[in-house]
Structure 1
Amino acid sequence: MGNRLNGKVAIVTGGNRGIGLAIAERLADEDAVVAVGDLLDRRSAEAGKPGKVSFLPLDVTDEASIRAFVDEVLERFGRIDILVNNAGMVIHKSIDDQTAEDWDKLMAVNLRGPFLMAKYVVPEMRRVGSGTIVNIGSVEGYMVNPWHTAYAATKAGVHGLTLGLAVDLGPDGIRCNTVCPGWIDTDLNRAYVEMHPDRSLIERELSYLHPAGRIGAPKEIANAVLWLVSDESSFVSGEMISVDGARTKKIPLPAVLDEEYRSKLTEKQA
């Protein structure tokens, strides 16, 4: 714990669990006051850091909800210094099975939401002459899993939004960057793994995909976000930063040719 964000007010969307909650708690650890916006499950509204993390209702697909949320944050805390656009969703469907409604829903949550959040937060950042925006993108913004056409399109769009905001808002003292997670051990991903009859096999195979020899933890995404919203990254803007254990840097090989590499990872895990 420290005080790198002392006096700062941060917004984290989709912060009720997983990566978003880890981000909210990490920023609070550094003395930020954090407003989490989510489609609230009231059972989890007591989570987080008492006195430092507030949970407020927010639907990022609804412009009126966003306006009301930003107004409430300003009324409660008087300023907004940090925006983390974390809210997101994924749909696993082939292009044949995707509907226009599927496409529109993903776009509304994953891309239109960050745009609207920035639209309503930026005037307040501009008023104080500084601010930082971090979008949670994905490695699927530049590499794609099967049946994720719509999801990948939204995340590539988030990367483009980041570039545009960094350029347009730089003169106002506002920075914008994107964190691109690899496979992270969240409740959602864990549930996906547990659906498979051989969970240990899936966990091993996922580890092999990452030269770091393991999958990531939510706190590791949170640490990257913390650096990007702190003064330690004051000359960093318009960047897409992968936090993926080098997964996107390794050229895939057939398993039979990759055997020696896999054995080294296995030794490391032992």
Structure 2
Amino acid sequence: MMRFEGKIALVTGGRSGIGRAIARRLQNEGARVFTAQRGEDPEFEYVQADFADMEAPARIIEDVVTKGGRLDVLVNNAGLMQEAAIEDMSLADWQHSLAVNLTAPFLMIKHALPHLRQTRGSIVNVGSIEGIGCNPLHAAYSASKAGLHGLARAVAVDHGKDGVRCNAVAPGWIDTELNLEFIKATPDPDAFRRDIGKIHPAGRTGKPEEVAALVAFLAAEESGFVTGQVYTVDGGRMTKLSLP
């Protein structure tokens, strides 16, 4: 299936993890894919950018449109996580998290909209189940991801009339390189994987490619009547109640 033949897609944070799986899926379905992140990308055309720099989004969009001639799909995937109790978190750290995880996607959308109107394009924000619930010490991350979900809804409401759709996905535990390294560093990796599998009705954790499949659907024309939604990709984790 070549749902993105002739289309230009931009994936922020597309060099690794979920972002790389999304970039590969879009490319495999015909898109010319650009990624944007702080370092080089040996696999895709890329723009180097620090998303803590509020001037970066405008430059990224301009660069991609100059090279590609258009923009059809924007995937806001880049983000960071800081762990700290609220009383221990500095204002600078809080603002840094919100800048990268929420303000940068807002600016990416702001500068992409004139081009997405022309192509009747699609935006997908990669949020998190922590935008719905929260793990300990993740105040800034949870708040920023909840905001990213809300941003998707707002864009859908305001720009549906322009032919632009915007949705969000909320992944749970996904076996990215970072998470796999975390498991390996635990005292008993096999036990950890068994235990974390038990909290998922699916009986396992997720794969980046499973998130990418949903993102591709939401970015494609076949989902043309789907906008303003937040889809969890969590193996049922948020649905399962704890034991009484």
TM-score, normalised by the number of residues in structure 2: 0.97
- Map residues 154-173 of structure 1 onto 2, 5 A cutoff: 154-173=144-163
Q: State the alpha-carbon separation in 2 of the partners of residues 233 and 212 from structure 1.
A: 25
Q: Which residue of 1 aligns with 2:55?
A: 64
Q: State the alpha-carbon separation in 2 of the partners of residues 214 and 145 from structure 1.
A: 19
CA contact (8 A) 2:18 2:208 kept: yes
Q: State the alpha-carbon separation in 1 of the partners of residues 95 and 165 from structure 2.
A: 28
Q: State the alpha-carbon separation in 1 of the partners of residues 108 and 237 from structure 2.
A: 30
- Map residues 159-238 of structure 1 onto 2, 5 A cutoff: 159-238=149-228
Percent of residue pairs identical: 45
Q: State the alpha-carbon separation in 2 of the partners of residues 100 and 69 from structure 1.
A: 27
Q: Which residue of 2 aligns with 1:33?
A: 32
Q: Output the aligned Cα RMSD.
A: 1.1
Q: State the alpha-carbon separation in 1 of the partners of residues 184 and 100 from structure 2.
A: 26
Structure 2: gaps (5+ residues): none
In the TM superposition, what is the alpha-carbon distance from 1:59 to its structure 2 partner?
2.0
Q: State the alpha-carbon separation in 2 of the partners of residues 151 and 63 from structure 1.
A: 19
What amino acid is the match of 2:28? D
Deviating beyond 6 angstroms after TM superposition, the runs of 4 or more aligned structure 1 residues are: none
In the TM superposition, what is the alpha-carbon distance from 1:46 to its structure 2 partner?
1.9
After superposition, give the CA deviation of every residue in 1:5-61 in whole Å (9 maximum; x if it has no partner): 111100100111000011001000000011100101x4xx323xxxxx312212222
In the TM superposition, what is the alpha-carbon distance from 1:63 to its structure 2 partner?
2.8
What amino acid is the match of 1:137? G
Aligned counterpart for 1:110 among listed residues 96, 101, 105: 101
Q: Which residue of 2 aligns with 1:46?
A: 42
CA contact (8 A) 1:59 1:66 kept: no
After superposition, give the CA deviation of every residue in 1:61-106 in whole Å (9 maximum; x if it has no partner): 2232222221111111100010000001101111122111110111
Q: State the alpha-carbon separation in 1 of the partners of residues 170 and 206 from structure 2.
A: 12
Q: Which residue of 2 aligns with 1:75?
A: 66
What amino acid is the match of 2:186? H
TM-score, normalised by the number of residues in structure 1: 0.88
Assess, with a 3 A threshold, how the Cα gap between structure 1 residues 208 and 137 changes in structure 2: closer, same or farther. same
Say which is worse superposed, 96-105 or 144-153, in terms of deviation: 96-105
| Number of equivalences | 244
Q: State the alpha-carbon separation in 2 of the partners of residues 224 and 6 from structure 1.
A: 18
After superposition, give the CA deviation of every residue in 1:212-242 in whole Å (9 maximum; x if it has no partner): 0000000000000000001121100000000
CA contact (8 A) 1:134 1:179 kept: yes
